[in-house]
Structure 1
Amino acid sequence: MVKAVVAGAAGGIGQPLSLLLKLSPLVDELALYDVVNTPGVGADLSHISSKAKVTGYVPKEKGDVSQAKIAFKDADIIVIPAGIPRKPGMSRDDLFNINAGIVKGLVEIAAEVAPKAFLLIISNPVNSTVPISAEVLKAKNVFDPQRLFGVTTLDIVRAETFVAEIAGKSSPQELTVPVIGGHSGETIVPLFSQVKPSVSIPDDKYDALVNRVQFGGDEVVKAKDGLGSATLSMAYAGYRFAEKLLKAVAGTKGLVEPSYVYLPGVPGGAEIAKKTGLDFFSVPIELGPNGAEKAVDILGDITEKEKTLLDAALKGLKGNIEKGVTFATQPAKL
């Protein structure tokens, strides 16, 4: 029996993500939690003729966490897209204080009632919310680095799509495009030199392609005229990672997907942490029954252009990580 939870299930990412999880044959029970509308979303999804039993939970009053505890209890996997969406002119950093507080509260509940759950953090800024989550779990003495993931799959999905367009490939999913680093702007480092099957990116299109992968979210915000951000593609990406993880936990071998993890706690990660000087970093992760079974070091084969991108990413990530750790470990300012 696999119990999956979506925290933030009534939102723009949460609803389509919940739909995809409801359709998954790997999920037996789907618990939905949000501060508004979740019972309605749950009732709607429960009419779909797939096997997952759906329940929806909402706080009884402001500050009530009892319903979240019921939703989270004994979960196998908790996906957290909760938070406010990005608006035009708003950087991921602008979202920080609100979303950081939301994630911190949700992870505290998970640590109490589902300490063994795999936690998939979607809420932005991921570069900071994953370190926050780690600090919360450490404080509760339940931190297992192999079970905490920052979902960067949308960057990989975009890279596959955009590379396929340039390379004239009709099936983007047949490409493996490693994307490392973080999950915002210049911290996103696509490694086009390591695409499999290999493709040739014309020099005159390289910079624009990198920029499009790094700032694809802005493209969506602009196209929606300020009325939304990347919700449907993010929901797909979150589901893709969750499905891969659930398959790996069930015993499927050879499943690899980049994810933003605490490197010193993942086999193979300590060496990458030394190279980057960072504890949190996204690299291809070999998934298995314990979650993050191995961090795959692909830094040795990068090109000079990619080294330049990596240097810029490391500088940005250092500050993002420090900001998250500081937020989690210091009393909140009133």
Structure 2
Amino acid sequence: MVKAVVLGAAGGIGQPLSLLLKTSPLIDELALYDVVNTPGVAADISHISTTATVTGFLPADDGLRHALTGADIVVIPAGVPRKPGMTRDDLFKVNAGIVRDLAKGISEYCPKAYTLIISNPVNSTVPVAAEVFRNAGVLDPKRLFGVTTLDIVRAETFAQEFTGQKVPSATTIPVVGGHSGETIVPLFSQAQPSFNVPEAKLDAIVNRIQFGGDEVVKAKNGGGSATLSMAYAGFRFAEKVLKAVSGEKGLVEPSFVYLPGVEGGEEIAKEVGVDFFSVPVELGPSGVVKANNVLANINDYERKLLEVAIKGLKGNIEKGVEFVKNPPPK
């Protein structure tokens, strides 16, 4: 029996994510939690004729505890969305507080669950969760993931004109670094099967991958952000984790992880100078089996992108850690 939980299930990402999780044959029980509307979302989704039973919880009546108890995997899209002109960093104070409180619940009610964080800014919210888990004595870096899959999905999609693949996801393109703007570094030189992006088009496609979220915000005229594509990306990563847990081998996907706590991570941490970083990770029943170092053979163009990314990441990570160590006044 596999129990999956979505924290923030009534939001713009949470609803389609919950819908996709309901379709998965790998899930037997789906618990939805949010501050409003969750019973309605749960009732709606429960009518879908797939395996998982669905329940919805609100903060009242100890809802977070009921939602999390017995959870095997917890996906967190909770938080406020980006608005026009707002960077992921602008979201920090509100979303960091939300993630901190939800992480406290996980540490108490399901400390061994795989925790997948979507809430932006991921570069800071994952360190927030890690510090909460560390303080509670339950930090297992192999089971804590920042979901950066949307960057990979965008790279696959935007590069299709150069790959020649009918199905964009048939090309594996590592995307490393973080999950905001210039911290996102697509490594076209490491793609499988290999392909070539003309030099004249390289800057444009990299920029589109890095700032694809702005494209969606603009297209929605300020009425929303990248909720549907993010829900798909969150589901894709969650499903890979669940498949790995059930014994499927050879599953690899980039994720923003705490490098010193996973096999192969120490070497990468020394190379990049930060402890949290998105790299392709091999998944298994215990979570991260190994972090794969794909940086050794990158080209000069990618190395320059990486230098810029690391500078931004250092500040993002420090901000997350500091938020837990010295909480801002309420």
TM category, shorter: over 0.9
Cross-structure match for 1:223: 219
Amino acid at match of 1:238: G
Contact 2:163 2:171 in 1 (8 A): no
- What is the correspondence of 1:67-216 to structure 2 with a 5 Å cutoff? 67-216=63-212
1:78-128 deviation digits (Å, cap 9, x = unpaired): 000000000000011110000000000000001000000000000000000
Matches of 1:11 and 1:206, distance apart in 2 = 35
Cross-structure match for 1:264: 260
Q: Structure 1 residue 140: deviation in Å?
A: 0.4
Amino acid at match of 2:308: A
Matches of 1:268 and 1:249, distance apart in 2 = 20
Identity of aligned residues (%): 69
Q: Structure 1 residue 170: deviation in Å?
A: 1.9
Contact 2:162 2:195 in 1 (8 A): no
- What is the correspondence of 1:238-249 to structure 2 with a 5 Å cutoff? 238-249=234-245
The answer to whether residue 276 in structure 2 is matched with residue 280 in structure 1 is yes
Matches of 2:264 and 2:311, distance apart in 1 = 23
1:185-224 deviation digits (Å, cap 9, x = unpaired): 0000000111111111001100000000000000000000
Q: 1:312 aligns with which of 300, 308, 312?
A: 308
Amino acid at match of 1:316: G
Structure 2 length-normalised TM:
0.99
| Runs (5+) with no aligned partner, structure 1 | none
Amino acid at match of 1:289: P
SS of match in other structure, 1:301: coil
Amino acid at match of 1:14: G
Cross-structure match for 2:45: 45
Matches of 2:98 and 2:110, distance apart in 1 = 17
Cross-structure match for 1:36: 36
Aligned pairs, number: 330
1:214-273 deviation digits (Å, cap 9, x = unpaired): 000000000000000000000000000000000001000000000000000000100000
Q: Structure 1 residue 309: deviation in Å?
A: 0.1
Matches of 1:180 and 1:331, distance apart in 2 = 29
1:109-158 deviation digits (Å, cap 9, x = unpaired): 01000000000000000000000000000000000000000000000000
Cross-structure match for 2:323: 327
Moved runs in structure 1, 4+ residues, more than 4 A? none
Amino acid at match of 1:13: I
Amino acid at match of 2:254: P
The answer to whether residue 16 in structure 2 is matched with residue 20 in structure 1 is no
Matches of 2:73 and 2:325, distance apart in 1 = 25
Q: Structure 1 residue 59: deviation in Å?
A: 1.8
Matches of 2:251 and 2:163, distance apart in 1 = 25
Matches of 2:145 and 2:8, distance apart in 1 = 17
Matches of 1:192 and 1:147, distance apart in 2 = 28
Amino acid at match of 1:5: V
Matches of 1:209 and 1:109, distance apart in 2 = 40
SS of match in other structure, 2:165: coil
Structure 1 length-normalised TM:
0.98
Q: Structure 1 residue 74: deviation in Å?
A: 1.5
Matches of 2:117 and 2:163, distance apart in 1 = 32
Matches of 1:323 and 1:303, distance apart in 2 = 30
Which segment is superposed worse, 158-167 or 296-305? Answer: 158-167
